[in-house]
Structure 1
Amino acid sequence: MRADTAWGDRLLTLCVAAGLVALFTVPRTWARATLSDRGAHLLVATRSGWDLAPTGALVGAAAVLAIVLSLLAGWTGRRGLAIAVLACGLAIVALALGRLDAATPLEHTIGRLRIGTFQTDEPVTHSGPAVWLWVAVTCGVVMAAAAASSLALGRRRPPVNPAGGPGEGSQHRGV
């Protein structure tokens, strides 16, 4: 029973670490668009999680809530709080994946700038999600998996013997 508790605490610590990393990813670049032809270094557009309102703020709030709930679950021993941590992890994944196409408007913007600035009819642009968006998704997956594992370990505990004697629910037999 102590091994399950120790692993459950480690998993909740992993949830806290994943929440901190997810919180760190929000001000980082989530979407990037660039030009691949001449003058590309002049026209590069990026967006962080904060720029993609309200997604960045919601990911930050979910990460903070998951950190607080993980710490409370570890300190109080109430493993049921891991259900909310699991929900926060899934919310982070859903919110971050919902911004996979956030670079498309950036691509159109720099394409128009390229046409207007350099009189190019067909600018060559590339866009897509940046690395930090994938880090946020990974943090959400790790958080959800750790919370689910903590819940599974908490439910595998053997039933408590109400008599307080040896054995788990079985009657003590004398010699």
Structure 2
Amino acid sequence: MTGFEIGRDLVLLALGVIGTGLSIYNLLESRGRGIRRVRVFAETAMHTYDNGEIGPPFLKVVAANSGHRDVTISNIGLEIPGKRVIATLNPDAFSGVPDTRTPTKLADGDLAHRFYEYTAISQACRDAGLQGKVSIHPFVVDTAGMRHYGKKLKWDASANWAS
């Protein structure tokens, strides 16, 4: 074998490896397009007023469609230990920004949210017999029945958030 033939074979081998890698990537990418991907997270929201005052704190649970497929959300909520769910009784508690009505369809990149008063979360935990630090878990349920979870939060059930 000459040096030219060895070089040619190595180039062909490299092209074959690259082609195989791209084919596997394309296969995985096309399979991933059909999967529902919902990212769930929680953040604090507060009213700020023109006079410099700050309103009471709210926990905002957000669902974001991070996939290519449309997802219909049927519920947004908070789960406390024992797989119990905290219900929001006042859908317009955070005035000016109403909760997203469910069911709602989320296209790629769309968001849905629900607000919970800090005081109501602590009261719900105490009503459930929970004391001290507890884990609460933000979640979203899609119409296929799949429950998508966000990062667990440590919550002080005995805290008095009233200002």
TM-score (norm 1): 0.27
**Which structure has greater strand proportion?**
2
Larger relative CO (CA 8 A, sep 6+): 1 or 2? 1
**Which structure has greater helix proportion?**
1
